[in-house]
């Protein structure tokens, strides 16, 4: 029997990159996956691909800045598959640039997606996890929060805020019901650079991705590793980066 048979996993940011790769891998290993993102057509394509390979999948249009969208995503998982075991909060944007640019709108957008979006997911899934007696929050953060570099300070701040919240939630939840996992990828071949408005910074980030970024599937395998552990084992933090990244 597949390792994840019976598990139900909801994933935000699932229309490309790490989210798409994670959905495909978990479905292959037996999980039912509910994909959340804003691009309906893309989500439908991925779900069809999963089903064509014998997996179980569903799509739910989800804008993580809207609390009601996360409630709908969680609700659809429970309604369609009977429960929710894992919420993978993967949606994120990187409107990075020097602080001196004073791009307040970009700062607000990152706070809304990277931080508030994760909180919306926690608010939606936590009552379900408590009612079931178990649940797992897996959240994509970033190595940008581990090594602070120019142009990434606000972006790193949103990611480190999430890291802090998850650690606080972990310490509040030592009754064996919840697990939390922070996954910090380095450079990964995704569409993340597309959200960078500063053309010079975007060009440098895209160059680095082209030069040495790892595949989204590598991060998906790390996420799967954390999920597949017995429920009394918690993988709290995973850092995964290219071997050539400084």
Tokens of 33: 């996956």
- The strand order across the sheet containing 237-240 reads 56-61, 32-37, 8-12, 86-89, 135-140, 178-185, 237-240
Tokens of 145: 């929060």
CB contact set of 74 (below 8 Å; sequence gap of 6+): 10, 84, 87, 121, 124, 125, 128
Strand partners, 139: 89, 182
Give CA–CA dist 216/200, Å, rounded.
24
Asked if 223 and 12 count as a contact pair (C-beta separation under 8 A), the reply is no
Q: In the chain, which residue ranges form alpha helices assigned H by DSSP?
A: 17-28, 40-52, 67-81, 104-110, 117-132, 153-172, 199-212, 216-228
Q: Which residues are catalytic?
A: 155
Asked if 245 and 186 count as a contact pair (C-beta separation under 8 A), the reply is yes
Tokens 């120019």 locate to: 150
Asked if 160 and 114 count as a contact pair (C-beta separation under 8 A), the reply is no
């Amino acid at each position: 029997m597949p390792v994840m048979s019976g598990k139900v996993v909801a994933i935000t940011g699932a229309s490309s990159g790490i989210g798409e790769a994670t959905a495909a891998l978990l479905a292959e290993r037996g999980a039912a996956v509910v994909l959340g993102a804003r691009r309906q057509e893309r989500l439908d394509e991925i779900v069809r691909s999963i089903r064509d390979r014998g997996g179980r999948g569903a799509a739910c249009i989800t804008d993580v800045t809207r609390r009601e969208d996360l409630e709908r995503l969680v609700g659809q998982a429970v309604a369609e598959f009977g429960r929710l075991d894992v919420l993978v909060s993967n949606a994120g944007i990187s409107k990075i640039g020097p602080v001196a640019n004073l791009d307040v709108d970009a700062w607000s957008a990152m706070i809304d997606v990277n931080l508030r979006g994760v909180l919306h997911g926690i608010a939606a899934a936590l009552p379900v996890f408590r009612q079931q007696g178990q649940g797992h929050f897996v959240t994509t953060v970033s190595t940008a929060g581990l090594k602070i570099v120019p142009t990434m300070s606000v972006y790193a701040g949103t990611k480190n805020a999430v890291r802090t919240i998850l650690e606080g939630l972990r310490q509040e939840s030592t009754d064996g019901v919840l697990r939390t996992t922070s996954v910090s990828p380095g450079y990964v071949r995704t569409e993340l650079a597309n959200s960078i408005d500063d053309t010079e910074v975007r060009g440098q980030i895209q160059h680095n991705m082209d030069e040495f970024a790892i595949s989204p599937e590598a991060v998906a395998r790390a996420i799967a590793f954390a999920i597949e552990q017995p429920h009394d084992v918690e993988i709290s933090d995973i850092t995964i980066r290219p071997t050539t990244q400084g």
